[in-house]
Amino acid sequence: MNDHNAPALPSLHGRRSLRDEIVQTLRGAVISGDLRPGAVYSAPSLAAQFGVSPTPVREAMVDLAKDGLVEPLRNKGFRVVELSEKELDDLADLRALIEVPVVRRLAEAGVDAADIARLRPLAAGIEEAAARRDLIAHAAIDLEFHLALLALDGNEQIVETVRSLRSRSRIYGAKQLAETDALLPSAREHSVLLDLVEARDAAGAEALMRRHIGHVRGIWAAKRD
């Protein structure tokens, strides 16, 4: 078992239910690579870092297993699923097919100012997490931002599909990028995307969203450990 490789997980803040917050944090740790692909982690070990009992952590890991992020190993814990280059390419392609036209449609139709205002703190949170090099928070808030943006289109099936696709993606090179602050330009694109949607610049929003998804393969995934 590889629990000695466990990351320094952030403390819980009680903004959501305990289980939901653990799920979000662990999902971010998998996406960012802090929970390493192929490594095995036990619920008691992770629970000790959170300062909670193993039960909510075990329940959270079961949720992640349903999403295909980890796989249970009898009497051992959970192994983080590793994706091939081909699988990462396929996930990025699927995301582009769904997210790009939805963002364009939102910009064309127009979004209420209140909805844009509600997304601004999330965009700022992504930048702040990148600036302090907190990869787990960066991945978690990034997921929350994009799902909240897509939800404005009113199609719950799209939101759940993209939730699965984004959760299964990996940003293997994020640690190296964060150490040189190279993650910041991509983080800032979220605020720019909101500006474009607010201005109803459909072509600009479409182009930025396509470029933003392309970072996963063109930049991050090429910088694996």
Query: Which of the two residues, 42 and 225, has the higher pLDDT score?
Result: 42
> pLDDT tens for residues 175-193?
666 665 667 888 999 999 9
Is 79 in a helix, a strand, or coil? Answer: strand
CB atoms within 10 A of CB 14: 8
Backbone angles phi, psi at 169, to 5 degrees: -70, 160
Mean pLDDT of the chain: 85
* Spatial CA neighbour of 105 closest among 214, 203, 213, 210: 203
Which pLDDT score, from 0 to 100, does residue 1 have? 47
This prediction has a pTM of 0.79
Which pLDDT score, from 0 to 100, does residue 151 have? 98
Residue 216 has pLDDT above 70, yes or no: no
Q: Which of 47-51, 53-57, 114-118, 181-185 has the lowest mean pLDDT?
A: 181-185
Concatenated DSSP letters of 181-221: TTTHHHHHHHHHHHHHHHTT-HHHHHHHHHHHHHHIIIIIG
Query: Which of the two residues, 107 and 34, has the higher pLDDT score?
Result: 107
Backbone angles phi, psi at 10, to 5 degrees: -70, 160
Q: Which of 33-37, 166-170, 187-191, 202-206 has the lowest mean pLDDT?
A: 166-170
β-strand partners of 40: 79
CB atoms within 10 A of CB 222: 11
Query: Which of the two residues, 51 and 119, has the higher pLDDT score?
Result: 119
Please name the amino acid found at residue 185. P
Task: Dig out the tokens for 104 from the structure.
Answer: 């364009």
* Spatial CA neighbour of 127 closest among 196, 211, 193: 193
> pLDDT tens for residues 141-182?
999 999 999 999 999 999 999 998 888 877 665 666 666 566
Residue 51 has pLDDT above 50, yes or no: yes
Residues in the chain: 225
Average pLDDT score over residue span 94-110? 97
Residue 45 has pLDDT above 60, yes or no: yes
Which pLDDT score, from 0 to 100, does residue 225 have? 45
> pLDDT tens for residues 103-139?
999 999 999 999 999 999 999 999 999 898 888 888 8
Which pLDDT score, from 0 to 100, does residue 138 have? 86
Which pLDDT score, from 0 to 100, does residue 146 have? 96
Which pLDDT score, from 0 to 100, does residue 10 have? 55
